[in-house]
Amino acid sequence: MYLFRSGANFYERGIGVFDHVIINGVIVTANWRGRANIAIKNGRIVAISSAPLFRDAAETYDVSGKIVIPALVDGHVHLRDPGFTGKEDFFTGTCAAAAGGYGTVIAQPNTDPPVTDEYGVEKLISIGKSRSVVDFSLSAQVTPENLDRLAPLKEAGVISFDAASCDVPDQWILREGSDLWRLFQDAAGLGVPVAFYATDSSMVKSMAESLQRERRIDPLAWSDSRPPVAEAAEIARISRIAAVTGVELLFRQVSTTESLDIIKAMRSLSPRPNISVEVNPHHLFLDRNDLARLGPFGKMAPPLRDRETVRGIWQNLHDGFIDLIGGDHAPHTKSEKNAGRENIWESPSGVPTLETALPLMLNVAHRGEICIEQVVRLMSEGPARWLGLYPFKGTIAVGSDADIVILDLKTSWEIRGEQMKGKCKWTPFEGTKVTGRVENTMIRGKWVFGQDGILVEPGFGQFVSAPARRRR
């Protein structure tokens, strides 16, 4: 991080008057904290200094008493657009992202049409360019049918590949070891990372059928159909194949300590570990007791685990083993979720997360159980590095995009679904009291969210691609 020391230097370097200066804030990145001023020109950070930069600025924003962090990056967001816009769309979803402190989101491919070919990529990019209020990219779904089309998908603009062995349409499931080997080898050659949702679908199918024969329709039946062994066994198989290919693999939605232990073992076998771990906010803040209480509104895949498992995941997070928090923002309407009120199998799985993930983490920081630097590592820098967007995204440094969030760590408030920007207007965290909130979000030098709500028009968000691949 380079610190200019005097305003005169800016003119000597040809920068001239800044577009914006953010003064008197405490800047926090994943590995640095300090009181400084930030100068912005043409959407980029051009100086970070303790000098009084406001004399060289067209606009000055005083954030005394506030924390300044890089805008969050979420590589796991279901915007439901196109095809399912009754649940969410690119505009409402990215408004929720801006309100939640996110500057960049990666749209997931389970749309209609799905992002499985170049047509799906082009259509989703077009929608995003016309509707998004934050920067965005997208992931393509890899299936047995499109394994020979990975290079065209990359050329069309995808930033990552997604694959799954459960809880997707049956024709998308990658079961065969030969398909996994081919995916990982080809993705490694293309320099595109792979995010994998790993659960043994045959075990889930057998257990779900057994529970349904027993006429289990209660919420915990959903959890019982997907026991920890179904996730851990599949992660063991997939991680061993990935370890010898060199692919940059992220296990999505890891929800059990058994899985984490297996990944640790696999990492220890490689001179350059290539396996990363994502956890979701709901697996950090909810457990099986909450599933029983919430019913269908607590249903997601993988399911909520017991309290001991939640404590184990937190311990791994504190130890630095978890690489990033991906939201898995997966909204459904209230009526869709309520369909499972009497029979849990009738409800779709998934919960909205974009507007609650950061406040929940800030509340933990308020209690002294985590530091803001860790939050930034998990929610800004970590995702940006894995996606190849760092250091343009995910940090506050000279040359980076001016993607900045102002945090008020003193205000306490209650999470209320009806007040959210997202379309579904509910949350499993309804009524939860938290301390710490997003005050403003800036993207590329433009305030996109503040006290007056969303401050830009649809289409302000830009499509981004990965300029460089992250290497450990």
Tokens at residue 449, please? 């969210």
DSSP codes, 160-202: EEEEESSSS-GGG----HHHHHHHHHHHHHHT--EEEE---HH
E strand residue ranges, 229-274: 249-251
The sign of the dihedral angle between the CA atoms of 259, 312, 72, 130 is positive
Q: How far is CA 262 from CA 257, 306, 404, 459, in A?
A: 9, 19, 36, 43
Question: Is 328 among the catalytic positions?
Answer: yes
Total H helices, total E strands in the chain: 16, 17
Asked if 63 and 32 count as a contact pair (C-beta separation under 8 A), the reply is no
SS3 67: strand
Q: 117, 328, 401, 403: which is the annotated catalytic residue? A: 328
Distance CA 353, CA 328 (A): 7
Length of the chain: 472
Strands 249-251 and 275-279: parallel
Give the angle 164-125-453 at the CA atoms, nearest 5°. 100
Distance CA 467, CA 262 (A): 32
Give the angle 349-277-148 at the CA atoms, nearest 5°. 80
Beta bridge partners of 440: 406
Task: Quote the DSSP letter at residue 54.
Answer: G
Picking from 349, 328, 329, 327, the residue whose alpha carbon sits closest to that of residue 337 is 349
Q: How far is CA 55 from CA 13, 17, 330, 398, in A?
A: 16, 9, 45, 19
SS3 35: strand
Asked if 58 and 17 count as a contact pair (C-beta separation under 8 A), the reply is yes
Determine whether 458 is exposed, middle or buried from the number of CB atoms within 10 Å of its CB (0-12, 13-18, 19+). Answer: middle
CB neighbours of residue 318 within 10 Å: 12
At a CB cut-off of 8 Å and minimum separation 6, what does 299 contact?
219, 222, 291, 337, 340, 344, 347, 348, 349, 350
Q: How far is CA 218 from CA 307, 340, 343, 453, in A?
A: 19, 9, 6, 40
Residues designated as active site: 328
